[in-house]
Amino acid sequence: MMVKVLMPKGSDTMTEGKVLKWVKKEGDPVSTGETVVEIETDKVDMEVEAMGGGVLRKILVQSGKVVPVGELLGVIAKPDEDISSLLKGGGAVGAQPPAGSPVQAPAPAPAGVALVPPSAGPAPAAPSPATGGSRQAVMGVAKPSAPEPTNGGRVLASPLARRMAQEMGLDLNRIAGSGPAGRIVRQDVERAALLAVGTRSARVAEAEGAGVHPPAPAPTLPRRPAPAPTGREFYDEPLSSMRKAIAIRLVQSKAPVPHFYLTIEVDMGRAKELRESAKALNPDLDLSYNDLILKACAAALELHPQVNASFQGEAIRYYRRIHLGVAVAVEEGGLITPVIRHCEGKSLQEISREAKDLIARARSRKLNPDEYTGATFTVSNLGMMGIEEFSAVINPPEGAILAVGTVAEKPVVVKGRIEVGLRCRMTLSCDHRVVDGATGAKFLQTLKQILENPVYLAF
Amino acid sequence: MSILTYREALNQAMCEEMRRDETIVLMGEEVGFYQGAYKVSKGMLEEFGPMRVLDTPITELGFTGLGVGAAMVGLRPIVEMMTFNFAILALDQIVNSAAKMLYMSGGQFPVPMVIRGPGGAAHQLAAQHSQALEAWFCYVPGLKVVMPSTPADAKGLLKTSIRDDNPVVFIESEVLYGTRGEVPEGEYLIPLGVADIKRQGSDVTLVAHSRMVFLALEAAADLAKEGIEAEVIDPRTLRPLDTETLVQSVKKTNRAVIVEEGWPFCGVGAQIVDTLQSLAFDYLDAPILRVTGADVPTPYAKNLEHLAFPDKQRVREAVNKVLYRQPANGDKS
């Protein structure tokens, strides 16, 4: 029995992944469930387990290479088994996705891999398996020399997906389906519509030759950079998976979402007192300003559900739950937004504890995909970097994002006299299709009131 | 509003109607002196006397026929089946007389009667006394079929059923008799053929009636913890069916799971699937799935009985399937 090791689909947005390291070498015995290879997705690093036992007979994609989701990475089989039927499709192995066509027709799935639905992302040429809808699904057991099933040239799509594709003017032949037997479902059409926007803009940016600078760590005073080596006047650094995901998602946001921005200044004096008294009460209770702002956002969103909403094309979706995204910078560059779920029912302490855990694991890229998807509102905080105020780009399909600046002492005028105040400036970016100016302003007013009277959070 | 049991709500509906209209009579096995096998007719013999609350012999075909005849000459009988398992014995009168009389008499003889009693599976009553037979009655043109899930629905729907000029098969749930809920006092009428959205949701439509409504609600509560918002619709009246509410919900959620206690083949859910696929085809993103009782006579053994009826896990699995979703607990990636 031959078992394929495939590039798994680690998240909805993942179309390709990088082989980081083979844990097993060719010839190593492998049992079911053992880790065979480590890969890097657009968001996290993950381990790929063997779905069946045998010997790792062949490694087809070496460490460091980027291949599309569903690509055959290696073959596990009995030591003496003929694996040539799987290796025949070698022409496609390691192939890069053709530029500008991230969505292609699904390749027919080989028999015996009924659980392997094709999905977004370039499908390798037959007889490589089609791309998978999930980690569980992508590793199939192939029957050698089984005849290729076909759908008689017919595209399988749910009735809804068919109607949506027609309305959006998308060609079903160019959309890969993630449902059973490659059925194109709503999610696939929506993703194809987004990708169509994202790649177009990404290519424009590429054509303009935007250079990418190496990260500049600046712990204290930035050191003068070493003189540039002689030779070419620039260098190109290939995009990491995460950087690509960031590029696509932010263009998806900024181009079609009409942003507008509202800024407010909040007196953080009482928030500071609250932090200090909490700590005095229990030294383990180390609340950050960010924790307080998250909790206050949850409370303000409960009062202004219009801001906890999403533009859905034909409708505005108002969420009954408050799932807060927290934008976190990842150590080696990039960012990720872990989600604290159900903040509507959580205490300040619970939110603080969860935020600390998620942020720590986000920095080391140890989040599960379900921990960084599904936010209804996001908070991005650059205060610790000394940024006074900034405007954030909305993370679609959310309707708004709050950008938090530094909490700093500054002169303020109180009753005609200048005093020292503790202030923080916050900017709300709103999707104008969902949130109007006055609606956003009222939300900010409430947020300010709560942070300036944090005793509210005790009730 | 007062808190009543499902049983008390039914009793209140009958008593209020009998006070209002003296042509209404109640008949059946043990409805009088014994106060009803499940105590639904408690106190009614005392209040209305033996002319209007009649204990009958154990002869379902006979007293159902008596009810049809009484309805034809101007009374409005309520015929109680001790359980709907025994209504099988009265099927000739229900199907061939009650349902067809208005049609066969060219509109001369309406049959305003209610045939009511508990149906559905109960605990360890075995093959002959534990089954969901509502589909049998839904099949017959000329009958209306009502199955309330809550005390308030029980009252409002029974009052309307008693006032309806057609024969109404009103199937209660034995296991819900003791459940409590707020019930509006006095004149509270729920029109037949109007479904109730027991829980709003946007991601998947769960259709369930009678006891299964509560299973669907429990499953929906669990799913909500995973971020899935299920809409739970209780048709309340199985015939006529409120297709509009069902179709509107599916247009919103694009997927449906039907939960029913009865057998799968030609079951109530099969009819709902037909309705949805014909009226909401272009809005469906997945095949409609059903979670039904097993296609077997109900086992007596507790462990097997448990396996023979829908449970939360099976509802969740069906929801995951129509959402093309991997179950959260199995997802290690």
pLDDT at site A233? 66
Q: DSSP letter for A157, please.
A: B
Say whether residue B282 is in contact with chain A using an 8 A CB cutoff. yes
Burial class (CB in 10 A: 0-12, 13-18, 19+), A161: buried
Would you tell me the crossing angle of helices B6-20 and B151-163 to the nearest 10 degrees? Answer: 30
Q: Specify whether B182 is catalytic.
A: no
Q: How many Å apart are CA A153 and CA A426, to the nearest integer?
A: 55
CA distance A317 to A123: 33
B10 Cβ neighbours under 8 A, 6+ residues apart: B40, B116, B154, B155, B158, B172
Quick check: A133 and B229 CB within 8 A?
A: no
B283 part of contact set with chain A, CB < 8 Å: yes
Q: Which residue of A has its CA nearest to B332?
A: A368
Instruction: Between B32 and A152, name the one with better pLDDT.
Output: B32
User: Rounded to an integer, what distance in angstroms lies between the CA atom of residue B1 and that of residue B183?
Assistant: 6
Query: Is-catalytic flag, B60?
Result: yes
**Direct distance between the N- and C-terminal alpha carbons of chain A, in angstroms, rounded to an integer:** 62
User: Positive or negative, the Cα torsion across B15, B56, B126, B237?
Assistant: negative
Among chain B residues, the shortest Cα distance to A366 is held by B333
Taking the Cβ of residue B186 and every Cβ of chain A, the question of whether any pair is shorter than 8 Å is answered with no
pLDDT at A202: 43
Check CB contact under 8 Å for B332 and A135: yes
Mutate to test the interface with A, among B252, B285, B332 (most CBs of A within 10 A): B285
How many angstroms separate the CA atoms of B58 and B81, rounded? 10
Residue B295 carries which DSSP code?
S
pLDDT at A238: 73
pLDDT at A44: 76
């009636």: which residue's tokens? B209
The C-alpha atoms of residue A43 and residue A205 are separated, in whole angstroms, by 22
The predicted model scores a pTM of: 0.53
Q: Å from A432 to nearest chain B CA?
A: 23
Where are any strands of DSSP class E within A306-451? 309-311, 316-318, 324-326, 328-329, 335-336, 339-340, 377-381, 400-414, 417-431
Mutation choice for B interface testing from A44, A48, A138, A186 by most B CBs within 10 A: A186
Measure B285 CA to nearest chain A CA, in Å.
Answer: 5
Dist. CA A3–CA A347, nearest whole Å: 48
- Write down the residue that tokens 């000329």 correspond to: B142
Whether A119 and B326 have beta carbons less than 8 Å apart is answered as: no
Q: What's the rounded Cα separation, in Å, for the pair A37 and B34?
A: 74
What are chain B's domains?
2-183 (3.40.50.970), 196-324 (3.40.50.920)
Spatial CB neighbours of A253, under 8 Å, sequence gap ≥ 6: A393, A394, A395, A396
Optimal mutation site among A160, A163, A341, A370, interface B, most CBs of chain B within 10 A: A160
The residue of chain A nearest to residue B329, with distances taken between CA atoms, is A370
> CB–CB of B283 and A158 under 8 A?
no
Helix and strand counts by DSSP (H, E) for chain A: 9, 19
Q: Test A160 with B333 for CB contact under 8 angstroms.
A: no
Active site residue: B8, B16, B29, B60, which one? B60
Q: What residue of B is the nearest CA neighbor of A48?
A: B333
Smallest CA–CA separation between B206 and chain A, in Å?
18
Q: How far apart are CA A340 and CA A360, in angstroms?
A: 13
Q: Is-cis flag, bond preceding A79, omega within 30?
A: no
- Residues B175 and B213: their CA atoms lie apart, in Å, by 13
Q: Nearest CA to A381 among A430, A333, A324?
A: A324
Other beta carbons less than 10 A from residue A319's beta carbon: 21
How much is the average pLDDT of B201-215?
97
How many A-B residue pairs are in contact by the CB < 8 A criterion?
56
CA atoms lying within 13 Å on the CB side of residue A322: 24
Length of chain B, please?
A: 333
pLDDT-derived band at B328, boundaries 50, 70, 90? low
**Contact (Cβ atoms closer than 8 angstroms) between residue A307 and residue A400:** yes
The pLDDT of residue A14 is 76
> What is the set of domains in chain A, with CATH numbers?
2-151 (2.40.50.100), 258-458 (3.30.559.10)
Q: With contact defined as beta carbons under 8 Å apart, do B284 and B226 qualify? A: no
CA A87 to chain centre: 33
Residue from the list A160, A180, A374 with its beta carbon closest to the beta carbon of B283? A160
Asked if A185 and B282 come within 8 Å (Cβ–Cβ), the reply is no
- Strand-pair partners of B146: B170, B237
Sequence letter at residue A315: A
Torsion of CA A283, A284, A289, A292, to 10 degrees: -110
- CB proximity under 8 Å: A 363-402 to B: 368-370, 374
Query: What are the structure tokens assigned to A13, written together?
Result: 């947005």
Chain A residues inside the 8 Å CB shell of B276: none
Angle at A12 between CA B284 and CA A213, to 5 degrees: 150
**Cβ–Cβ contact B294 with A under 8 A:** no
* ipTM, 2 dp: 0.76
The list of chain A residues with pLDDT below 70 reads: 12-13, 88-153, 196-233, 235, 459
pLDDT of res. A47: 84
